[in-house]
Chain A
Amino acid sequence: MSKIIDGLYYCESHEYVRVDGEFGYIGITDYAQHELGNVVYVDMPEVDDEVTAGEEFGAVESVKAASDLNSPVSGTVVEVNEALEDEPGLINKDAFENWIIKVQMSDASELEGLMDAAAYKAFIGE
Chain B
Amino acid sequence: MAEEIKMTCLHDKHVALGALMTPFAGFDMPIQYKDIVTEHNAVRNAVGVFDVSHMGEVRVTGPESEKFVNYIFTNDIAGANLGQVFYGMMLYPNGGTVDDLLVYKMGENDFFLVINAANIDKDVAWINEQAAAFDVKVENQSDYYGQLAVQGPESEKQMVETLKLDCADLTFYTAKTLEYDGETIIVSRTGYTGEDGFEVYASHAAINKMWDLLMAAGVQPCGLGCRDTLRFEVGLPLYGDELTADISPVMATLSMFCKFDKPGGFIGMEACAKQKAEGSAKKLVGLELKDKAIPRHGYEVLQGDKVVGYITTGYRGISVDKSLAFALVDREAGALDNELLVRIRKKVFPATVVKKRFYKKSYKK
Contacts and interface: CB of A to CB of B under 8 A. Distances in A.
A15 interface: no
A61 B316 contact: yes
A64 interface: yes
B345 A63 contact: no
A61 B294 contact: yes
A40 B324 CA distance: 13
Contacts of A37: 20, 32, 35-36, 225
A41 interface: yes
B54 to A, nearest CB: 18
A81 interface: no
Given A37-B225, A63-B316, A63-B318, A43 B36 contact: no
Given A37-B36, A38-B36, A66-B294, 15 more contacts: A35-B20, A37-B32, A38-B35, A41-B292, A41-B293, A41-B294, A43-B344, A62-B36, A63-B37, A63-B225, A63-B229, A63-B316, A64-B36, A64-B225, A64-B228
Interface residues of B, number: 19
Interface in B1-52: 20, 31-32, 35-37
B176 interface: no
A84 B315 CA distance: 18
A64 B31 CA distance: 9
15 contacts: A37-B225, A38-B35, A38-B36, A38-B37, A40-B294, A40-B316, A41-B292, A41-B293, A41-B316, A43-B345, A61-B294, A61-B316, A63-B37, A63-B315, A85-B292
Contacts of A40: 294, 316
A65 B296 contact: yes
B296 A66 contact: yes
Interface string A19-38: 00000000000000001011
B98 to A, nearest CB: 27
Contacts of A35: 20
Given A59-B345, A63-B318, A43 B31 contact: no
B329 to A, nearest CB: 21
Contacts of B315: 63
A30 to B, nearest CB: 15
Interface string A71-99: 00000000000000100000000000000
Contacts of A85: 292
Contacts of A41: 292-294, 316, 323
Contacts of A63: 36-37, 225, 229, 315-316, 318
Contacts of A43: 293, 344-345
Contacts of A62: 36
Contacts of B225: 37, 63-64
Among A43, A62, A63, residue most surrounded by chain B Cβ atoms (within 10 Å):
A63
Interface in A37-77: 37-38, 40-41, 43, 59, 61-66
Contacts of A38: 35-37
B35 to A, nearest CB: 5
Contacts of A61: 294, 316
Contacts of B37: 38, 63
- Which 6 interchain pairs have the tightest Cβ spacing? A40-B316, A63-B36, A38-B37, A61-B294, A41-B292, A38-B35
A65 B313 CA distance: 11
A30 B127 CA distance: 49
Among B32, B294, B318, residue most surrounded by chain A Cβ atoms (within 10 Å):
B294
A65 B316 CA distance: 10
Interface in B188-234: 225, 228-229
A62 B318 CA distance: 12
A37 B323 CA distance: 18
B50 to A, nearest CB: 16
Nearest to B296: A66
A95 B32 CA distance: 20
Nearest to B38: A38
A59 B293 CA distance: 10
A38 B39 CA distance: 12
Interface string B314-327: 01101000010000
